[in-house]
Structure 1
Amino acid sequence: MATHTFVGSGIASLAGAVILIRDAAVEGKDITILEESHQTGGAFDAHGDAENGYFMSGSRMFEAKYLCTFDLLDSIPSATDPTMSVTQETNRAAAKWPWDAKARLVSRDGSIPDAHTMGFTERDRIDLTKLIAEPESLLDDKRITDCFERHFFETNFWMEWCTLFAFESWHSAIEFRRYLRRFVHHFSTIDVQHDIYRTVYNQYDGIIVPIVTWLKARGVQFRYGVRVEDLGFASGSDAITVTSITTRGADGTAIIPVAPDDRVFVTNGSMTADKVFGSMTKAPGLNPSNHSGAWNLWEKLAQGRPAFGNPAAFNGNLAESSWISYTVTVKDPLFLQLMERFSGSAAGTGGLITFKDSSWLITISIYHQPFFPNQPESVAVWWGYGLFHDRPGDFVKKPMVECTGAEILEEVLGHLNFVAADQAAVVAASICIPCAMPYITSQFMMRKLGDRPKVVPDGSTNLAFLGQYAEQPDDVVFTVEYSVRCAMTAVYTLLKIDKTPPPVYKGLHSPKVIVDAIRTLHR
């Protein structure tokens, strides 16, 4: 029987393994997932405990138009209730904790300004409309700043959009255009953040754990501590056929033979590669070593093979692709009480809160509780990030990347403008664990056609690329949906299955969405 090998255990690989079993009748024993680390899930990395603090690098939004994602999760039983699917569980969570932001933006003095008015000039409206309509082919190697005047980046729309999706002004105009088109149905609710979903717990426990449980029950093999160093290819033909996989693990170097009928799925690149966690007393710092197997493998494969893309377009400028997140565990109800009073929303229903004048451009998210399955009732977890980690803070006069968890917490509480006694009480009851990520928005870096390889490169007989750095027309990176769509495309193409992924939702084809978007541009 043919074997199917996945390099990396992120959501793209896990989804690919599910699709192989579900839609291609592949037996689990013929699927192997090779993982360099000793944890499954890639960027889905929520771990820890109440005593030492919970920690994770990021948290993802979902919405009803993630058609591939919910198609996949509809096949996976929930970890908390096997009688329902993860899709059903997520829909219930969205209904139980709907977002309705009342404090989307916060001013320097701690006041909550009107976030409903977008603040566009006529020039801003023209430029935004032009970019949405612009052919993607005209935006190669252009930044967002190349498409707008300075005032656009002072509007509420930009502040709300960039902090919801983690865009920065120097990022790719191509990616920004794709987001505008892909999420145009969110224009009219960008200030209140309606119809944005969260899983019942953090996404590692809510998505990765049930998928891995499902795969292992069907015999899928997970091999941890195995780094893929290179692939061997057949010579003497224009076809791209993998013949071997070179690995390195605890037992040294090994070569896995690959037959012509076997398939290899490679996650090229990684958003959370070389991430570093800090503590209340230690700053994370930024790791520039680029030692990740995901990047090194892609760099090696792309040498002399233009069809395999250009990793340097994405991992070559850490100053523009990095930022800091932080997870806070608080062992006192005071903070949630203060936040509910401040924001007007109960925990889990207020969406993102952005301190629009903060030097670090801080955004926080107060989750519904519990956020971890083992979380005690007396403990709460919240999360946040800062897009400008290299600037001195407003209250802590140091760049964010150089700050300990305690200092980051001090900066956030300063912007909330709580009285000193309350701030001290919150700090005393909290554990803040920061995380520095050199490549977290590398997929947004300025690029051109061909910098990302096709999911199945032209001429490939048994190799596919997966994840945020494989090209898929119309859909948007930095989403779970993109990874799942890659997995579906790869499996259906390589195994010649007469099936295609659910189409990318195109709100621009809906008259109602268009009318709502136009009204938003003028409010």
Structure 2
Amino acid sequence: MSKYTFVGSGIASLAGAAILIRDAAVAGKDIVILEESLQTGGAFDAHGDAQAGYFMSGSRMFEAKYLCTFDLLDSIPSITDPSISVTEETNRAVAKLPWDNKVRLVNRDGSVPDAHTLGFTEHDRVDLVKLIGEPESLLDDKRITDCFQPHFFETNFWMEWCTLFAFEPWHSAIEFRRYLRRFVHHFSTIDVQHDIYRTIYNQYDSIIVPLIAWLNDRGVQVHHGVRVEDMAFASGSDAITVTSIATLGADGPATIAVAPDDLVFVTNGSMTADKAFGSMTVAPGLDGSNHAGAWNLWEKLAQGRPAFGNPAAFNGNIAESSWISFTVTVSDPLFLQLMERFSGSAAGTGGLITFKQSSWLLTLSIFHQPFFPDQPDGVAVWWGYGLFHDRPGDYVNKPLIECNGTEILTEVLGHLHFSAPDQAAVLAASNCIPCAMPYITSQFMVRKQGDRPLVVPAGSTNLAFLGQFAEQPDDVVFTVEYSIRSAMTAVYTLLKLNKTPPPVYQGLYSPQVIVDAIRTLHR
């Protein structure tokens, strides 16, 4: 009987295990997931409570064109209502609380500019259209700044696009081009953010919890505290065949034998590796030690094997791949009342709010409430992030990376220009937990073809790579869709199933989408 081993318990591995069961009739008892940490879910990490404070590293954008994601979640029963799927639950949540952003951007003085006007010059338009049509092969090792004049990075379009997707000017032109092509259908609504989805609760409780429950019910084993150190391969052939897996756990080193008919799925690299949380009084600090197993394993596997990619292209410059997020738990309704008055939207019905001239490039996301299933009445949770963590703030004279939760919240409230008594009241009722992530946009780093391995490398008989650092033409990294697509591709390819993942949505082939996009470029 074949065995199926997944390295890492992020969404790609969990999806892969579910697809093996659903589409390949694999018994759950034959699937093992090895996880270095004591938690399941990878970058999906929303936890905490009202007393100590809720916390998470990030929140992900969803939309209807995530065809692989909703194909999978249509098979997983909701935790809140097992009679419906997670897909149906999400669709109901979106219908109940659709986004209609009235305040997408905020000026330094607290005024609200016309975010509908995108601010392009003719040169900006030409450069944007040129990049969309440029062959990807001509963009190796190019940054976004190599493709645009400085004015482009002052436009409302850039501010809205970069803070929605977390791009920074020095990131890869290849990835930026892919995003422009993949999300061209969002051009016309980039300011109001229509058709962007939210799950019923945070994404850990809404997606990971029901997925884990479904896998547990079918006997899938998750072994926590097990770090995969290396793998051995068969010799004497050009084929790539894993023969054993070296691990390190609580009982010391161990070796897992891999038979020729067994399959191994590796999540190579990690966006949230070495993340660190702070508190209201302690800054999180930026961990640059690169000690996470996901990166170290990939580095070992790639040595002398060009087909396994080049991890140094992604984890070699944390100054350009890191930023800071923060989760705020509030025990007083005042903050949500002030934000509703300021934005014109009730919590969960607006969208992202970006302070376009802030030194940290701060963006806030005011969630629908409750955001956690156990969240008490009278407690609210919201989230934010700053893309520039090395610059002094505008109201706190320290770089974001050096700031604790109190200082971060002080900076945010300064940009909102609430009255001094209101600011003091909000601070007194809030618990702001910052999170520093050295590799959060490492998948956007400047790269060239071949730096990411294929999901199933040429010649592989039993090994596949999953997640954000496995190459999939046309689709875009930093999305749940990309991870789930990699899992589908890996399972269907290695098991030689007569199936393919749902195709990547191609809005560029829709006349109406193109007409809307062209009109948008001239706003």
Report deviation, 1:402.
Answer: 0.2
SS at match of 1:453: coil
Tell me how far 1:297 sits from its aligned partner.
0.1
Cα distance in 2 between the residues matched to 1:247 and 1:115: 52
* Aligned-partner Cα distance in 1 for 2:93–2:359: 34
2:300 maps to 1:300: yes
1:81 has 2:81 as partner: yes
Structure 1 match to 2:407: 407
- 1:448-499 deviation line (CA, Å, top 9, x unaligned): 0000000000000000000000000000000000000000000000000000
The Cα offsets for residues 332-376 of structure 1, whole Å up to 9 and x where unpaired, read as 000000000000000001100000000000000000000000000
Aligned to 2:215, the other structure's residue is in SS state: helix
Alignment of structure 1 residues 190-229 onto 2, 5 Å: 190-229=190-229
Mapping for residues 469-480 of structure 1, pairs under 5 Å: 469-480=469-480
Q: Report the counterpart of residue 185 of structure 2 in structure 1.
A: 185
SS in 1 for 2:127: helix
Question: 1:501 and 2:501 equivalent?
Answer: yes
Q: In structure 1, what is the equivalent of residue 380 of structure 2?
A: 380
Residue matched to 1:91: 91
Residue by residue, what CA displacement relative to the aligned partner does 1:69-125 show, whole Å, maximum 9, x if unpaired?
000000000011100100000001111110000000000011111000010000000
The reply on whether 1:438 has 2:419 as its aligned counterpart is no
Residue 29 of structure 1 aligns to a residue whose secondary structure is: helix
Say if 2:393 is the partner of 1:393: yes
Q: SS of the residue aligned with 2:297?
A: helix
What CA distance in whole angstroms lies between the structure 2 residues aligned with 1:468 and 1:59? Answer: 16
SS at match of 2:197: coil
Paired amino acid for 2:34: L
SS of match in other structure, 2:228: strand
Give distance in 2, aligned partners of 1:180 and 1:391.
28
Q: What whole-Å deviation, never above 9, does each CA across 1:188-241 have from its counterpart, x for those lacking one?
A: 000000000010000000000000000000000010000000011000000000
Alignment partners' CA distance in 1, 2:169 and 2:79: 40
Matched, 1:280 2:293: no
Alpha-carbon distance in structure 1 between the residues aligned to 2:341 and 2:216? 45
Which residue in 2 is equivalent to 1:175?
A: 175
Partner of residue 161, structure 2: 161
SS in 2 for 1:179: helix
- TM-score when normalising by structure 1: 1.00
Deviations 1:283-339 (A, max 9, x none): 001000000000000000000000000000000000000000000000000000000
Give CA-to-partner distance per residue, 1:29-80, whole Å, 9 cap, x none: 0000000000000000000000010000000010000000000000000011
- 2:492 corresponds in structure 1 to 492
Aligned-partner SS, 2:375: coil
The reply to whether residue 231 of structure 1 matches residue 231 of structure 2 is: yes
1:125 aligns with 2:125: yes
The equivalent residue for 1:36 is: 36
* 1:407-438, Cα deviation, whole Å (9 max, x unpaired): 00000000000000000000000000000000
Local SS of the residue matching 1:93: helix
Correspondence 1:328 to 2:328: yes
Counterpart residue type for residue 233 of structure 2: F
SS of residue matched to 2:18? helix
Residue type of the partner of 2:419? V
Tell me if 1:4 matches 2:4.
Answer: yes
CA distance in structure 1 between the partners assigned to 2:430 and 2:345 by the alignment: 21
> In structure 2, what is the Cα distance between the partners aligned to 1:80 and 1:45?
19
| Cα distance in 2 between the residues matched to 1:215 and 1:16 | 11
Q: Give distance in 2, aligned partners of 1:84 and 1:400.
A: 43
The residue that corresponds to 2:342 in the other structure is: 342
Q: Which amino acid aligns with 1:475?
A: D
Is residue 129 of structure 2 the alignment partner of residue 136 of structure 1? no
Mapped to 2, the partners of 1:410 and 1:444 lie a distance apart of 30
Equivalent positions of 1:10-29 (< 5 A) are 10-29=10-29
CA distance in 2, matches of 1:165, 1:51: 31
Counterpart for residue 108 of structure 1 = 108
**C-alpha separation in 2, matches of 1:368 and 1:412:** 20
TM-score, normalised with respect to structure 2: 1.00
The runs of at least 4 consecutive aligned structure 1 residues that moved more than 3 Å come to: none
Distance in 1, Cα, partners of 2:165 & 2:60: 9
C-alpha separation between the residues in 1 aligned to 2:148 and 2:320? 19
In the alignment, the residues of structure 2 paired with residue 357 and residue 92 of structure 1 have an alpha-carbon distance, to the nearest angstrom, of: 36
Structure 1 residues without counterparts, runs of 5 or longer: none
1:377 deviates by 1.0
Percent identity, aligned pairs only? 84
**Aligned partner letter, 2:391:** R
Q: Structure 1: how far apart are the matches of 2:359 and 2:61?
A: 25
1:118-163 Cα offsets, whole Å, 9 max, x none, are 1000000000000000000000000000000000000000000000
Counterpart AA for 1:90: T
Quick one: distance in 2 between partners of 1:273 and 1:159? 27
| Equivalence for 2:150 | 150
Aligned to 1:264, the other structure's residue is in SS state: strand
SS in structure 2 of the partner of residue 365 of structure 1? strand
- Give the letter aligned to residue 163 of structure 2: T
How many angstroms apart in 1 are the aligned matches of 2:61 and 2:139? 27
Cα distance in 2 for partners of 1:498, 1:478 equals: 28
Supply the distance in 1 between the matched residues of 2:35 and 2:314 (Cα, whole angstroms).
Answer: 22
Gaps of at least 5 residues in structure 2 are: none
Letter in 2 for 1:196: I
Q: Which residue identity lines up with residue 70 of structure 2 in the other structure? A: F
